[in-house]
Amino acid sequence: MEMNIALLPGDGIGPEVVDQAVKVVKAIGEKFGHQITFETALTGAAAIEAVGVPYPDETHEVCLRSDAVLFGAIGDPKYDNDPSAKVRPEQGLLLMRKKLGLFCNVRPTFTFPSLVDKSPLKRERIEGTDLVFLRELTGGIYFGEPRGRSEQGDRAFDTCVYNVYEIERLARMGFEFAQKRRKLLTCVDKANVLATSRLWRETVQRLAPEYPDVKVEYEFVDAVAMRLIQWPKAYDVLITENLFGDILTDEASVISGSMGLMPSASLGSDTKLFEPIHGSYPQAAGKDIANPLATVLSAAMMFEYAFDLQEEADAISAAVNRSLEEGIVTEDLAGDGGKAYKTSEVGDWLVKQIMS
């Protein structure tokens, strides 16, 4: 197959983790006989420095003409520490999601057998967890208007808005995912307080009869925050709005053992995008110590979701599993006394595994 992949390394550790994923993708291309070309473009603080905006039109063009986008991370402390900054790197990520129509962010949570004892949660609670969040990605409080400050600057406001069509398209994806899995769908909301949540619940209730094989549960977000780490095996597919999904998926990463392991796929109307759920981890940037596995696993999701190539995706996951079993891991997973490998060494090791 011919594949043209857009690479948006972004900020912080983004470039170095994307480098490892590219090595792995090239190895897969060689092994399975695919012609893969890459085109790199600017996003985030790196784009602001170069051209003044965090998601340049040129970058959008590159994404549109590609078959899939592999994204690193966005964010820079320079902007985090300056709340008055008018242009922020994160705006680039949000604009990119919006302009590419990526309304559904798929964030799976599963455990790696070799890491179960590294989680602060008890083995019997988490072993065998296999759930997936579908986080709505282009609506809600992240995008709602009005937003801003009062003239005096002593009041700030954000607006959470959802239209039925935005909820419906995400919910339908949730039902379809559930049908292919264990047929349990949990609608996560705060319908006891928020009008938007009541619209979510109403919409999901209206659609449910169309999917009689799927059992639907409705649960408040605060309860899910608790039950998710108490008994994660109770869940299969969870659908939720943008901000709740952002928060709960960081929490869910504790089940897997590290933020550095969690991949995601963003799906919608145009080109699909694949990105780790972690941020730009500026403290580690350029040090060759960041965990590349979340990005490598995002590349595995790319083969599965963008190209429908399950064998290629499985080959990547298998190599990652072996690296974890054999302790070829970066410092976040090495633990006391364990050897910490460099980011690039982990990438090279994965390539060797795939080619062997």
Q: State the catalytic residues.
A: 142, 190, 222, 246, 250
CB 21 within 8 A of CB 296: yes
Residue type, 261: L
Structure token pair of residue 96? 């990119």
* Residue 105 C-beta: closest distance to Mn ion, Å: 10
Give which of ligand IPM, Mn ion, none residue 90 binds (C-beta under 5 to 8 Å, depending on kind).
ligand IPM
List Cβ neighbours of 91 (8 Å cut-off, separation of 6 or more).
Answer: 54, 55
Between 74 and 319, CB nearer to ligand IPM: 74
Question: Binding residue for ligand IPM (CB under 6 A) from 29, 101, 108, 279?
Answer: 279
Intra-chain end-to-end CA distance of the chain, in Å: 22
Between 279 and 327, CB nearer to ligand IPM: 279
Give which of Mn ion, ligand IPM, none residue 93 binds (C-beta under 5 to 8 Å, depending on kind).
ligand IPM
> Which x/- pattern over 258-277 shows residues binding ligand IPM (rule: CB under 6 A)?
-------------------x
How many residues interact with ligand IPM (rule CB under 6 A)? 7
With binding defined as CB under 6 A, does residue 93 bind ligand IPM? yes
* Residue 333 C-beta: closest distance to Mn ion, Å: 20
Between 23 and 97, CB nearer to Mn ion: 97
Burial 281-300 (b: 16+ CB within 10 A, else e): bbebbeebbbbbbbbbbbbb
Distance CA 48, CA 231 (A): 43
Distance CA 251, CA 265 (A): 18
Give which of ligand IPM, Mn ion, none residue 279 binds (C-beta under 5 to 8 Å, depending on kind).
ligand IPM
Distance CA 17, CA 20 (A): 5
- CA-closest candidate to residue 291, choices 243, 342, 327: 342
With binding defined as CB under 5 A, does residue 246 bind Mn ion? yes
Q: Which residues bind ligand IPM (CB under 6 A)?
A: 74-75, 90, 93, 246, 277, 279
